[in-house]
Amino acid sequence: MKIAGVIVEYNPFHNGHLYHLNETRKVTSADVVVAVMSGSFLQRGEPALVDKWSRTRMALQNGVDIVIELPYVYATQKAEIFAKGAISLLSSIGVDELCFGSESGSIHEFQNTIAFVDSHEKEYNERIKYFMSEGNNYPKATSLAFQSLQGHEDVLDLSQPNNILGFQYVRAIHAQNAPIRPTTILRTKAGYHDQELTDTKIASATGIRNELLSKGSPLESIQAYVPEPTYNELQQYKETYSTFHGWHKLYHLLRYKLLTASPVKLASIYEAEEGLENRLITMAKTAPTFQDFMVAVKTKRYTWTRIQRFALHILTETTKDEMRPALEDRAPYLRLLGMSGVGRSYLNEIKNSLPVPLVSNINQFHHPFLTTERRVNQVYALGFTGKHQEEFLMKEYKTSPIIL
């Protein structure tokens, strides 16, 4: 039996994701597709548009067989740690092949780049430090360091977001000695960060969210860019809760935290460094909206994503001590969010031989990562009001894995 893995956010699941999923089945000849998916908060430090259960249904209805949650302690990290957590989960559940989208489209470029960086590791790290000392942020510094070293063309463009993630996936497979064969498919048309809907059928998740949140466009405006199950799920979610989630629902809470917490407490929050928390406090005093706040805080040295993740950790009170195990350890459990009939059969076959616990009910399993998960989901719930807030406060405890 061939088991393929994908690492996703599905925020929301769109036509590009469907293409990737179909190509994954084609190029891997997979019998089962496992998706490791971020939960309530995402890698760029933002709340998911709709909750993890709705996104799980989207995944299953569009062809995924098993959805496993990527814990918050990995999901809201830079690419290296994000990849480390996701790969360890895929390895634990028995995945044979990983298929990811990239701007490169050539797995040989990824393998060549890994070998090249490993053979120049000391010099590579020194050049990263140099370019950061010049005022560049970390992603830009790593790209410049690589460009200054590379001696041939058959390597990656590490300035591209999907190439960066793919590079870290392949590197994590090597580092963990995971029995997973990586493969990649070319990402075309809409770019990862494209905010406008320019094609007739393919748009980035960023563009779709921008249309719904920033522009306030009706749901019909994105119908052409998502599969029918996704559109139906979004429509039902909007009818039920009257809104989609975003930082605009939580900024008042972040502002409260920044203006009332002690400097010592803020300095203990994960990703606090070089007094960055003081800059956030200053800007929170005058910025009336989250967009205004981010524009005011952003600098050349600190990317939008870096600041947004720090803001999220302040909001959820996630400390450096709390995150430290994620930097050192592999994912300690598999939390099941949903499965198809095929996925259920596969799990029944392997559940007694899994190297880590399979968790379907968080009330019956205890781990510090799940303690964090419970807390951050309570914060996510505070973006709602009234009876919907009460519902979301209990969803983490009452919702069973979805079976399609």
- 9 and 17 Cβ atoms separated by less than 8 Å: no
72 is in an annotated binding site: no
18 is in an annotated binding site: yes
Q: Do 227 and 274 share a domain, yes or no?
A: no
Q: Give the pLDDT score at 189.
A: 60
Q: Do 22 and 92 share a domain, yes or no?
A: yes
14 is in an annotated binding site: yes
Please give the Cα distance from 320 to 323 (Å, whole number). Answer: 5
pLDDT tens for residues 59-97? 999 999 999 999 999 999 999 999 999 999 999 999 999
Q: Do 254 and 396 share a domain, yes or no?
A: no
pLDDT band at 196 (very low <50, low <70, confident <90, very high): low
Task: Provide Rg for the chain, Cα atoms.
Answer: 21
Q: Do 95 and 227 share a domain, yes or no?
A: yes
Q: Give the pLDDT score at 151.
A: 59
The stretch 208-218 carries a mean pLDDT of 92
8 is in an annotated binding site: yes
- How does DSSP assign 26-90, residue by residue? HHHT-SEEEEEEE-SB-TTS-B-SS-HHHHHHHHHHTT-SEEEEE-HHHHTS-HHHHHHHHHHHH
Q: What are phi and psi of 37, to 5 degrees?
A: -125, 135
Strand bridging mode 334-339 / 358-359: parallel
16 is in an annotated binding site: yes
Establish if 266 belongs to a structural domain.
yes
Please give the Cα distance from 330 to 268 (Å, whole number). Answer: 23
Establish if 386 belongs to a structural domain.
yes
Q: Do 305 and 379 share a domain, yes or no?
A: no
Residue ranges making up the domain that contains 395: 3-103+185-246+330-403
Lowest mean pLDDT segment, chosen from 4-18, 106-120, 136-150, 325-339? 136-150
Choosing from 295, 322, 349, the residue where a domain stops is 322
Please give the Cα distance from 103 to 109 (Å, whole number). Answer: 11
pLDDT tens for residues 123-132? 888 988 898 8
368 is in an annotated binding site: no
366 is in an annotated binding site: no
Residue ranges of the alpha helices (H) in 134-227?
A: 138-149, 161-176, 205-209
Please give the Cα distance from 33 to 78 (Å, whole number). Answer: 25
pLDDT tens for residues 241-267? 999 999 999 999 999 999 999 989 999
The stretch 46-62 carries a mean pLDDT of 97
55 is in an annotated binding site: no
13 is in an annotated binding site: yes
Q: Do 394 and 287 share a domain, yes or no?
A: no
Establish if 146 belongs to a structural domain.
no
Establish if 375 belongs to a structural domain.
yes
- 401 and 339 Cβ atoms separated by less than 8 Å: yes
225 is in an annotated binding site: no
Q: Give the pLDDT score at 360.
A: 96
Determine what percent of the chain is predicted with pLDDT higher than 70: 96
Choosing from 322, 347, 369, the residue where a domain stops is 322
Q: Do 381 and 398 share a domain, yes or no?
A: yes
Q: Give the pLDDT score at 227.
A: 97
Joined tokens for residue 231? 């559109």
Choosing from 288, 322, 356, the residue where a domain stops is 322
Q: Do 205 and 288 share a domain, yes or no?
A: no
Q: Do 237 and 336 share a domain, yes or no?
A: yes
Number of structural domains in the chain: 2
310 is in an annotated binding site: no
Which residue in this structure is represented by tokens 């050349």?
Answer: 300
Q: What is the H or E stretch that residue 120 is in?
A: none
20 is in an annotated binding site: yes
Establish if 110 belongs to a structural domain.
no
Q: Do 217 and 268 share a domain, yes or no?
A: no
**SS3 assignment, position 310:** helix
Establish if 353 belongs to a structural domain.
yes
Q: Give the pLDDT score at 277.
A: 94
Q: What is the DSSP letter of 244?
A: -
Q: Do 239 and 347 share a domain, yes or no?
A: yes
Q: Give the pLDDT score at 132.
A: 85
Q: Give the pLDDT score at 195.
A: 56
Q: Give the pLDDT score at 299.
A: 86
9 is in an annotated binding site: yes
